[in-house]
Structure 1
Amino acid sequence: MNAPRTRVQRRPVHGVLLLDKPLGLSSNQALQKAKWLLRAEKAGHTGTLDPLATGVLPLCFGAATKFSQLHLDADKTYEAIARLGVRTSTGDAEGEVIATRPVAVAAGDLARVQAQFTGPIRQVPPMHSALKRDGKALYEYAREGVEVERAPRDVVIRSLEIAAMPADCIRIRATVSKGTYIRTLGEDIGEALGCGAHLTALRRIATGGFEATQCVTLPALEAMGEAGRLACLLPTESLLAGHTSVTLAAEDAARFLSGLRRRGGWPDAAEVAVFGQAPRAFLGTAHVKAGELIPGRLLNPIEIQQTLLTEATP
């Protein structure tokens, strides 16, 4: 008989864990593993990575889940390896080979294609994606052998580097806007080179202001005690690194948290992170217009108190 499964006692956990997602796990599987290790009550991630991709996956816990959209919209940087001359059904090594062509690519060809795909471009989303059509994910249609029409999407390739590698492969490094599919970029580059291509490796090395060097792996997290795991969490406000900071005295902070506008000498700002003064605590987001601080997404008093207690625990 199997031993009874140990029930994990959940607890409130608030903050951001920068995980280096391992090969072979879906983003949700990685999230659930980290959530279990932290015994967290509430968690979410900031945009999926395919099981065959590795790298930066910010995981949001507790109050931080309220601000995860900020990193869904952030620019991201990837490194990928594409094999030229071979197209697959999925655009990566997981799919079946559907076409092969000879490869005859010179350095000038790579420079031409690099310029062609830098800046605003249009992409047709791949069938093997989580985009929905009539309430059903495209990858579900793909598994049934059904191809549906997809409208091209406008995306921006902020920077692109393409370098030749042995065995008819190229290395791609790209910083891209939200909604960009690197598998599709690899396939389109292959077509522009006249031979087709598919990705054999993909790694996200940065998202927003977060980089792979800041990340912790699941094995490292597993090897830690509870205090060590909690120490890996960044504060919720780390998601708002580009925001203007405003600090309120206790009376104004209390009124702001109740949803009331505050008036002060602040310049207009579209994105503001608001803090209480004593003790210093993150309260939420706002924007400033005509000297008024207008509340956006707010933490509730319980979340603020739990965060302060956690930060005070050695």
Structure 2
Amino acid sequence: MSKPRKPKGRPISGWLILDKPLDFGSTEAVSKIKWLFKAQKAGHAGTLDPLASGMLPIALGDATKTVPYVMDGRKIYEFTVAWGEERSTDDLEGVVIRSSTERPTEEAIRALLPKYTGVISQVPPQFSAIKIDGERAYDLAREGETLEIPAREVEVFRLSLIGCTPHLAHFEIECGKGTYVRSLARDMGRDLGCFGHIASLRRTFVAPFGEEDMVSLADLVALERVGDEGERLAALDDYLIETGEALSGLPHIAISDDQAQRLKMGNPIILRGRDAPLATPEAYATARGKLVAIGEVAEGEFRPKRVFANH
């Protein structure tokens, strides 16, 4: 019997919060980061289109197990809508499919904002990653198909008009999982009777990570000039954020090294003390600041569901 193949790369874990540049796909960015860090495994928490810039949280190693918790977090975008044209992709990449000489007033735009705040219904763009009968919508759209994509509910916590000119409007939005800003631009343009599309889009926040956590691709690539590989990798690793930071929205339990070993073997641990959390379906445990496990708290025990090797 042949031996299992040893994974290529370093078994490092953590989050790299990339400031993704324009004209760079999310998958391409993940591949570049995985190569730079010589990581065994990498994935991202929420696609950014090539024409969008800003925060792309990238998980390395065991941190990929925490991707769903970041995917579910709130997000903040700054974006500009260009009035007068609706495009097939709802951004600059597409062809013009409707146009108008009408332009909205600032008063009309502000009066519309409450309609797009709270729980709203929106239809994702034709060119999106939504799956239709097992196929990505953008693949079908590129083949010339016109799709019937069902509307879905998303939540917008805040939508602010930052400034505007006759032809452009600048906004900031704080929203929940699954919100398409391109759809928002399209729908506002239709409501205002002038049509619209995204002219620029930048993501500045993905809970729990903020702008201060972001690092540019140029800064990371510049380290390739460091001659010694050990020094170069150590400098890159300094940019990593602990895996457990992705779980800051869950109840936290600090445990001992002995308890950590029990959890790693799949065994529950007894929780004592007045600070022990009450029953909860999800919590995370750390020892010496390192993530050990995600699990549930029930009947005075922490019961591991997912354990992490790099403690």
- What is the TM-score of this pair, normalised by structure 2? 0.90
- Which one of 250, 260, 281 corresponds to residue 253 of structure 1? 260
Q: What is aligned with 2:33?
A: 34
1:257-300 per-residue CA deviation (whole Å, 9 max, x = no partner) reads: 22222222322234322023xx5532021221232212122113
SS state at 1:210 partner: coil
Q: What is aligned with 2:227?
A: none
1:68-97 per-residue CA deviation (whole Å, 9 max, x = no partner) reads: 111111111101101011111110000011
1:114-135 per-residue CA deviation (whole Å, 9 max, x = no partner) reads: 1111111001111101111122
Q: Which runs of 4+ in 1 moved over 3 A?
A: none
Q: Distance in 2 between matches of 1:164 and 1:250?
A: 54
Q: What is aligned with 1:234?
A: 241
Q: How does 1:85-234 map to 2 (within 5 A)?
A: 85-224=84-223, 225-234=232-241
Q: How does 1:30-69 map to 2 (within 5 A)?
A: 30-69=29-68
Q: Distance in 1 between matches of 2:206 and 2:103?
A: 34
1:235-268 per-residue CA deviation (whole Å, 9 max, x = no partner) reads: 1111112222212233332222222222223222
Contact 1:71 1:239 in 2 (8 A): yes
Taking every aligned residue pair, what percent have the same amino acid on both sides?
A: 35
Contact 1:103 1:168 in 2 (8 A): no
SS state at 2:198 partner: strand
Between 50-59 and 208-217, the greater mean CA deviation after superposition = 208-217
Q: Distance in 2 between matches of 1:297 and 1:156?
A: 29
Q: What is aligned with 1:307?
A: none
Q: Distance in 2 between matches of 1:112 and 1:206?
A: 26
**Code of the aligned partner of 2:148:** E
Q: Distance in 2 between matches of 1:29 and 1:125?
A: 23
**Code of the aligned partner of 1:240:** L
1:207-229 per-residue CA deviation (whole Å, 9 max, x = no partner) reads: 01212232111110011232211
- Which one of 293, 297, 300 corresponds to residue 306 of structure 2? 297
Q: Which runs of 5+ in 2 are unaligned?
A: 1-7, 224-231
Q: Distance in 2 between matches of 1:75 and 1:159?
A: 11
Q: Distance in 1 between matches of 2:55 and 2:26?
A: 11
Contact 2:105 2:166 in 1 (8 A): no
Q: Which runs of 5+ in 1 are unaligned?
A: 1-8, 305-314
Q: What is aligned with 1:268?
A: 279
CA RMSD of aligned residues (A): 1.5
- Which one of 292, 295, 303 corresponds to residue 283 of structure 1? 292
Contact 1:82 1:169 in 2 (8 A): yes
- What is the TM-score of this pair, normalised by structure 1? 0.89
Between 215-224 and 290-299, the greater mean CA deviation after superposition = 290-299
**Code of the aligned partner of 1:200:** A
Q: How many residues align?
A: 292
Q: Distance in 2 between matches of 1:216 and 1:252?
A: 35
